[in-house]
Amino acid sequence: MSIAKKITLLFAILSAIIISLLSGFVWYFSNEFAFEDFYKRLEARVNIAAQIKLFHDENNSAYAKMRNQYLERLPSERELVIEESQLEKAKTELKIPESFFDKIRAGKMSRYRSENHFNAGKFFKSNGKNYIVIISADDPFGFRELKDLQKILFAGFFLSIVLSFLVGWKFSNYMLDPLRKMIKSVKKIKAENLHLRLDVKQGTDEMSQLAQTFNNMLNRLETAFETQNNFISNASHELRTPLTIISGEVELALKTFDNSPEQGLALHKIKDEADRLEHILTSLLGLAQSGFNGKVQPREEVRMDELVWEAKDSVQQVHPESKIEIDFSKLPANEEALTLKANKNLIKLAITNIVSNACKYSDNKPVLVSLESNGHLLSIAVADQDIGIPQEDIQHIFEPFYRASNTSNFKGYGVGLPLSLNIIRLHRGSIAIQSQVGIGTTIKVILPII
């Protein structure tokens, strides 16, 4: 999920929580106080009814006149004066909970509402008898207003969520637009155009700081790449020239030496070490060059089944006694599933290094090279029956000059697999390895079909 979507979703959720809390607050207090006025009108009628019905004095006529002239009759209004001895019978008719009467017995004005039907009651004592006066009525208008408020709150809630989602989407896009432009600019920067820089806006906000940080990093990368490029350009000439001279002089000395065994042994040792140094130099230059400008080297359509055969031929020229078996049983009929857009020389070098290692460490036991494609990924598996790699060494075998602890009896420099890994990564692929000591090793190269 993109950051814009996450921000929008989070904004909508927070808005929903805030709006729901606000709506609940409005609903609660509206529900509590919407009928307060109506209850007060009922309570006034309770007191007036008690005065008229239970207390007979000179003010009764005034109360009755006020009742008739100034207090309108409420919808479904009902007046009950219940003697305490008749209370149990009245309860079954009124359908009012016991808590209502408990509050009355405590000497307080009691209230009870069922939907839009309201009740108010109070305890009175007159002429030595106990009475309960109850006034009930309907308040359709207040109840309707509360229902309308409920509908408005629900509609407002959902409308607010939609609006908050839209506003959040616009807000997140607005805030992340500089970041998107920055990403677009960074994607254009490659090894061949490291001189490009991001546009830094004036200001001290995080986006400006991020752009400036990228530019500082690009400055360091450009300097490092230029240094490496200069080394790659100059090292071949500067280092190969003295090696060539040493090798030539040693070969001349071998032709003219005086048959002294010690002198011949020393000259052969110098020649071997010079060849070894030249091989290391070649591997190092290949490793450095593949890491620097492999992406700008020309690419072409390469049939991987044909390349595997070429790699086999190359290995057998160096190890003629090797036994390499090719398995194409899992190949699809569609040749497009076997074709990669790659630098043929580099990818051939990577496969050749892996197969050559398998042959070298397997003591001429069969090495199986299998090719498989599923339409999106192409895999090349090299399985051998070699000495195996100890588990503690597997995580280091792709480090330059690292050699497993059980390879001391085999010649090698520890640069073949790192070079292969660099080349495979340049083609957006990966390498997986499985190995058991004394059983064998399987290395699988996985490449995307472009």
Q: Express each pLDDT in 397-442 by its tens digit.
A: 888 777 777 777 777 667 778 888 888 888 889 999 988 888 889 9
Q: Does residue 370 sit within a domain?
A: yes
What tokens were used for 138?
């309907």
CA atoms of 70 and 41, how far apart (whole Å): 12
Do 246 and 352 share a structural domain? no
Do 283 and 310 share a structural domain? no
Considering only 56-70, 157-171, 294-308, 322-336, which range has the smallest mean pLDDT? 56-70
Of all helices (H) and strands (E), which one includes residue 301?
strand 300-303
Q: What percent of the chain has pLDDT over 90?
A: 5
> Which of 275, 293, 311 is a domain's end point?
293
> Which of 238, 270, 293 is a domain's end point?
293
Q: What is the CATH number of the domain that holds 52?
A: 3.30.450
Q: Which of 193, 192, 198 is nearest to 210 (CA)?
A: 198
Q: How many CB atoms within 10 Å of residue 162? A: 10
Confidence (pLDDT) at 380: 92
Q: Is 163 or 247 the better-scoring residue by pLDDT?
A: 163
What tokens were used for 371?
């090719």
* 294, pLDDT greater than 50: no
Q: Which of 393, 318, 300, 405 is nearest to 360 (CA)?
A: 318
- For 211-285, where are the E strands, in sequence order? none
Mean pLDDT of the chain: 80
CA atoms of 143 and 229, how far apart (whole Å): 84
Instruction: Find the angle CA(332)-CA(341)-CA(395) to the nearest 5 degrees.
Output: 85
Confidence (pLDDT) at 271: 78
Do 352 and 274 share a structural domain? no
Do 320 and 258 share a structural domain? no
Of all helices (H) and strands (E), which one includes residue 370?
strand 367-373
Do 381 and 436 share a structural domain? yes
Confidence (pLDDT) at 60: 66
CA atoms of 137 and 124, how far apart (whole Å): 20
Q: Does residue 12 sit within a domain?
A: no
Do 97 and 134 share a structural domain? yes
Q: Is 238 or 214 the better-scoring residue by pLDDT?
A: 214
Q: CB–CB of 427/347 below 8 Å?
A: yes
Phi/psi for 378 (5° steps) reads: -120, 130
Instruction: Find the angle CA(421)-CA(376)-CA(289) to the nearest 5 degrees.
Output: 25
Do 435 and 310 share a structural domain? yes
Do 318 and 383 share a structural domain? yes
What is the identity of the amino acid at 175? M
Do 326 and 269 share a structural domain? no
Total residues found in the chain within this entry:
450
Do 421 and 315 share a structural domain? yes
Q: Which of 353, 381, 240, 241 is nearest to 287 (CA)?
A: 353
Q: Does residue 152 sit within a domain?
A: no
Q: With bands split at pLDDT 50, 70 and 90, how would you rate the model's confidence at 116?
A: confident
Q: Residue 433 belongs to what domain range?
A: 297-448
Considering only 44-53, 153-162, 264-273, which range has the smallest mean pLDDT? 264-273
Collapsed DSSP state (helix, strand, coil) of residue 60 = helix
Q: What is the pLDDT of residues 340-390, one digit of tens each?
A: 888 887 888 889 889 988 888 887 789 999 998 887 889 999 998 878 888
Average pLDDT in the 172-189 region?
80
What tokens were used for 227?
């240094």
Do 330 and 383 share a structural domain? yes
Name the residue with tokens 């090797």: 322
CA atoms of 340 and 448, how far apart (whole Å): 8
Do 247 and 356 share a structural domain? no
> Which of 293, 319, 340 is a domain's end point?
293
Number of domains the chain is built from: 3
* 296, pLDDT greater than 80: no
From residue 76, give the alpha-carbon distance in Å to each of 46, 72, 73, 344: 15, 12, 8, 96
